[in-house]
Amino acid sequence: MTAGVAGAVRNKGDELLRLDDVARYFDVSPPWLNRVLERKPRVLLRAVEGVSLAIRRGETLGLVGESGCGKSTVARLIVGLYAPTRGTIRYEGTVLAGEGAAAADGAAQRHARRSMQMIFQDPYASLNPRWRVEDIVAEPIRVQEGDVEQGAVEARVGALLEQVGLAPADGIKYPHQFSGGQRQRISIARALAVNPAFLVCDEPTSALDVSVQAQVLNLMRELQQRLGLTYLFISHNLAVVHHIADRVGVMYLGRIVELAPTRRLFTRPQHPYTRMLLDAVPDLSLTGKSRTAVAGEVPNPLDPPPGCAFHPRCPLANERCRTEVPRLLALAEGGEAACHAAEEGRLPARVVAAA
């Protein structure tokens, strides 16, 4: 076991990553001249609006929600593909983005960036079709570590491919010669090339067949236990998140609306949106019983509703919900929820049998 892995295991449970009031807006306004002639204001898309969360070393935090809720934007903010409009992102106490980032230790920032890697959703698009697999996996090593002997690089690439269930001889092949599941294994090998401690997994199994999904998930859990990895696992598939995550955050229209340990969230959800998502999951044991589907449509993110963004679809909404944005508060049942009904005790009792 390397020193880095030993440290990760020894300090398991320590806070690794923290986001404080992180927001990201995109300017989707028409060109300036059009706005002047048509007398229209600027238009901002609030993709992420005030997300605060912490991820502990060695855990898997699942992030779920409907398409367009901001999950992937959060992932790209963490790894530095986007800069936050406001808020602060810290990794092992080092400010990576936001207030104080300019004054932070540059060496510590580079170490933090190297320590976090990303697995993308589509293995068909995330691998360069013109490169051999050995070059794809070796690229992070050459970029991050500079002048490394070719023999040493080849040995590390072969070991990485074996680690994800492929053969070292597969390095001379091109991505199109592999199945979808094998390509995602190559993506995982590339992410592990520089010995990271934290992996951002942006729907890594959504483009795969169900049987292949299980193989990739089992591989990721095995690697986590062996290497002491920490995951942010983004998905819209609640069954997958239930299988792999220690805690789950539920996003709606750019905000975290509930955050709780996986078992508690699946058995005692405390936000109406979480309950609707769980009701929409197919379950043979509920055949013939009435179910509440997720009602309505996601509001236009260019013109979100006032107050709680979920209130147009919520059966428990009152006047306070229509005017006041709820805060993410700790609940007596455990976990946190941003819901006036839960805060005021108006949420009907509901217990779901554990899967």
pLDDT given for residue 212 in this prediction? 85
Nearest-CA neighbor of 256 among 90, 42, 53, 9?
Answer: 53
Per cent of the chain over pLDDT 90 is 62
pLDDT tier, 132 (very low <50, low <70, confident <90, very high otherwise) = very high
Averaged pLDDT, 92-120: 88
CATH number for the region 3-245 comes to 3.40.50.300
pLDDT given for residue 2 in this prediction? 44
Nearest-CA neighbor of 168 among 160, 179, 176?
Answer: 160
List of residues 6+ apart from 59 with CB closer than 8 A = 13, 230, 231, 246, 247
Averaged pLDDT, 117-127: 90
* Per-position DSSP letters for 258-295, written without gaps between them: EEEEHHHHHHS--SHHHHHHHHTS--GGGTTS------
Averaged pLDDT, 71-80: 95
pLDDT given for residue 333 in this prediction? 75
* Token digits of residue 29: 């306004």
Per cent of the chain over pLDDT 70 is 91
| Domains of the chain, residue spans | 3-245, 253-355
Taking all residues of the chain, what is their mean pLDDT, rounded to a whole number? Answer: 88
pLDDT given for residue 332 in this prediction? 79
pLDDT at 353 over 80: no
pLDDT given for residue 12 in this prediction? 65
pLDDT tier, 297 (very low <50, low <70, confident <90, very high otherwise) = confident
The pTM (predicted TM-score) of the whole model is: 0.88
pLDDT tier, 7 (very low <50, low <70, confident <90, very high otherwise) = very low
Directed axis angle between helix 150-163 and helix 133-145, to 10°? 120
pLDDT tier, 298 (very low <50, low <70, confident <90, very high otherwise) = confident
